[in-house]
Structure 1
Amino acid sequence: MKNWILVFFIAIGVMFISCQEEERELIDPNVDNTIPRNSQLASLMKSVVTHDGSFDDIVDQGHCFSIKLPYRILLNGEEVLISSSADYQRISVTDIVEIQFPVIIVESNHHENLVENITELEGFINNCIPNDDDIECIDFVYPILLSTFDSNSNRFETIEIGHDSQMFNFMSGINETTSISINYPIKLVLHNGVGVAAQHNTELLNEIIDAASICDENDG
């Protein structure tokens, strides 16, 4: 019986070491799939998940934020509920639009702010930077698994990312002691609905660069 117990604990130990080695391989700084904190890929990934607020500019005139749905406007004096992106197709540049305050706006960093009146809204509009860093032409398909290693605590961790805001906050919070890597393959979707896949860092970098170079941004 003691021999069987000894064999059991040896087997558990071997499995534990093997799992650690597998995770270590995913984020070994010498492996191509590691993403340095200040690398071009890390910067572009953050740009992809920066909130694009240009889709509702016909209402709020601020490309660096959007108004959180649902909310109401007066469209040529008639009250209209804006509950989906499709509702913006009903509005033309010649229409008279009045936002019914208060509304909540979502900024480029995904932070939300309550706006009580047109004066407050104009303050946010004036703070928008022309041609900001957001990449509107390609999006991640979630969930995405990331592996991390903290050299201070010597701790490995796998994190599931399920939304742009979560990815943005994660990429913004990476410190100098943390190494990250993506658990490939991952999927992305282009602005025209075509799906693409990346098997490693170089493919992901090229897909983002290619997408950003062939479509128009709405940050004028």
Structure 2
Amino acid sequence: MKKILCLLIIGMILCSSCQEEEREVIDPTINNTIPKDSQLAKLMRNVVTHDGSYDDVIDGGNCFSINFPYMIIVNDEEIIVDNIGDYQNLSVNDMIEIQYPITITLFDHSEKTVIDGNELNTYVASCRKEDDDIECVDFVYPIGLSIFNAQSNRFRVVDIGHDSQMFTFMSTLGDNSFVSINYPIDLVAHNGQRLNAQHNSGLLETILDTAFTCEENDN
């Protein structure tokens, strides 16, 4: 009986050792992990925040944009707006009337239906004069992310293919989850210059260096 008991104890010790070895292999604190409240995580969210300032001449709200296509009346003429180039023909001196209902995309890439001007003004009032989005640089997709969940001790890899996916992922990252980017990745500056990041410090430097190199559309 003592012999069997000794064998059971030895087995438990070996099993515990194996679990410790596994934790060491996938230790979330090593190298390129990005804490959710870190400067890099916040800057990444700012890069992928939806920019709603390009149509402010119509809706007046820099934290959302109106989805194409939609109709407006400009100086008594009906116009269908279906691309960004249409805004170049408008000015703040034009008499512009939006034809409702419309669908808008908010800063977090969610969509809402707006039925009248009063409801639109509510969204306009929710915008800050200077929003957090970084318009001067964008990620080039796809980007692979490795995620370790400390609670379940599970590891997975996801491919991100759009700003909306990246925003949702970075905004909903739990306290027990640790994320790292599968480098290298590319970014593109507002002037079309291709940029490359090989690690977290390089990505942080690239975003900081390009964040204010262009004239943003916020009013």
- TM-aligned CA deviation for residue 218 of structure 1: 2.6
Larger radius of gyration: 2
Aligned counterpart, 1:9: none
Summarize deviations over 1:23-46 as a string: whole Å, max 9, x none.
Answer: x56x74121x11111110001000
- TM-aligned CA deviation for residue 202 of structure 1: 0.9
- TM-aligned CA deviation for residue 80 of structure 1: 1.0
Quote the Cα distance in structure 1 between the aligned partners of 2:50 and 2:80: 23
State the aligned residue count.
Answer: 199
Aligned counterpart, 1:16: none
Quote the Cα distance in structure 2 between the aligned partners of 1:144 and 1:76: 45
Quote the Cα distance in structure 2 between the aligned partners of 1:176 and 1:28: 12
Aligned counterpart, 2:189: 190
The letter for the 1-side match of 2:199 is H
Summarize deviations over 1:58-105 as a string: whole Å, max 9, x none.
Answer: 111111110011111112211111111111112122222111100011
Q: State the TM-score, normalizing by the size of structure 1.
A: 0.85
Quote the Cα distance in structure 2 between the aligned partners of 1:110 and 1:170: 12
Post-superposition, which runs of at least 4 consecutive aligned residues in structure 1 deviate over 6 A? Answer: none
The letter for the 1-side match of 2:49 is T
In the alignment, structure 2 segments of 5+ residues that lack a partner are 1-21
The letter for the 2-side match of 1:137 is C
Aligned counterpart, 2:91: 92
Structure-to-structure mapping, 1:179-218, within 5 angstroms: 179-218=178-217
Pair 1:161-2:153 in alignment:
no
The letter for the 2-side match of 1:172 is S
Quote the Cα distance in structure 1 between the aligned partners of 2:154 and 2:45: 24
Query: Matched residue of 1:214: which SS?
Result: coil
Q: State the TM-score, normalizing by the size of structure 2.
A: 0.86
Percent identical residues: 53
In the alignment, structure 1 segments of 5+ residues that lack a partner are 1-20
- TM-aligned CA deviation for residue 192 of structure 1: 1.5
Quote the Cα distance in structure 2 between the aligned partners of 1:189 and 1:79: 37
